[in-house]
Amino acid sequence: MSAPSNLLAPTKVGIALGDRSYDVVIGAGLLDAAATWSDLPKSAQALVVTNEVVAPLYADVLQRQLSALHNRVDVLVLPDGEAHKDWQTMNLVFDRLLANGADRKSVLYALGGGVVGDMTGFAAACYMRGVPFVQVPTTLLSQVDSSVGGKTAVNHPLGKNMIGAFYQPVRVICDMDTLRTLPAREVSAGLAEVIKYGPIADASFLAWLEEHMEGLVALEPALIAHAVQRSCEIKAAVVGADEREGGLRAILNFGHTFGHAIEAGLGFGTWLHGEAVAAGMVMAADLSERCGLMPAGFADRLRALISRAGLPVVAPALSAEEYLEHMRVDKKSQGGEIRFVLIDKLGSAVMRPAPEALVRQTLAACCQPA
């Protein structure tokens, strides 16, 4: 399976949600192309929400392009990092909207990674009970996952993304050129969310990732464009079938129950989200074997691929009780019972509880010694 070369030209992946349908546009040079912005909502004013790392790189060009759509384009620069995905930072967005006299037609643009995207989307969902917003993801992780599908949230000290809303953007603009400025650690973190799509939905994509991982780490243009497009196609199909995570959409959280526990246990921002998900996928694969769903060797196969992506494959040394406590407040839990996304065959996932004894065995096998 090879990456078609024409993926370097702009392509679109549609998210089919009736009158709330929208496109994910994938291509190079999109930020600086006037045509990218020509048919987006027009309004008297817009607010670009970004962070202190991304703003110096891309805020000016976006502000210039949006001047054709809005009389006033303001830029709000937030502190960078998962540690700031909280109510205090969220209120900075509301403060600016209110100070500017933003109305119900005002448009928000999320320029940055997953934290900026989640917070801007949540602000858009809440301000005046809903204003339009556009996702402009600049990290690999946000392009392949968090910008697509309408999940928005802030963190609570007791749990990740526990306060939020489902609220869809009107467009997602994935400019491949923004990935060139990412640190290697951020590229690897994004590849974690790419890797997850293979085990849960497409065994041939998993094999393709195994064939091309070194090229993906190096951000070879045709390869990374294909990875972004295929990831978005899989997520589009899942979100179109189950927008509000009533069942099927939960499979997109493969590795996330363990991963969110890592983030909360270490303190948000200590590990990148993708790093925590990577270790979490190894743990979920191990648990899939222990539950008899997958044959021996599956976890080792996934561990090898994740390691080649430059990601951690051993979870940090939190106690079993700490892991279990954090996982019990996971959004998939019901009545205090922890439910996991597990693989029952390559390209297929299920969500189900697992015996605590087996979970503890996975923790003992996959974590650093306490």
Q: Which residues are annotated as a binding site?
A: 80-85, 114-118, 138-139, 151, 160, 178-181, 193, 256, 273
Angle ∠(94,103,98) on CA atoms, nearest 5: 30
CB distance 154 to 90 below 8 Å: yes
* Known catalytic residue at 243: no
Pairing of strands 151-156, 159-166: antiparallel
What's the pLDDT at 244?
86
* Known catalytic residue at 253: yes
Residue ending a domain, choose from 129, 157, 181: 181
* Known catalytic residue at 151: yes
The range of the structural domain enclosing residue 54 comes to 5-181
Residue ending a domain, choose from 181, 204, 219: 181
CATH number at residue 119: 3.40.50.1970
Tell me, what DSSP letter sits at residue 32? T
Distance between CA atoms of residues 127 and 120, nearest Å: 10
* Known catalytic residue at 256: yes
Residue ending a domain, choose from 181, 212, 228: 181
Distance between CA atoms of residues 178 and 55, nearest Å: 12
Are both 164 and 211 inside the same structural domain?
no
Tell me the pLDDT tens digit for each residue of 197-239: 999 999 999 999 999 999 999 999 999 999 999 999 999 999 9
Q: Which positions of the chain have pLDDT values less than 50?
A: 1-7
* Known catalytic residue at 235: yes
Are both 158 and 236 inside the same structural domain?
no
Which one from 171, 256, 290, 303 is the annotated catalytic residue? Answer: 256
- Residues 6 or more apart from 257 whose CB is under 8 A from it? 280, 284, 327, 330, 332, 338, 339, 340, 341
What's the pLDDT at 330?
80
What's the pLDDT at 335?
73
Are both 275 and 164 inside the same structural domain?
no
Are both 164 and 140 inside the same structural domain?
yes
Q: How many domains does the chain have?
A: 2
* Known catalytic residue at 321: no
Q: Which residues are annotated as a binding site for Zn(2+)?
A: 193, 256, 273
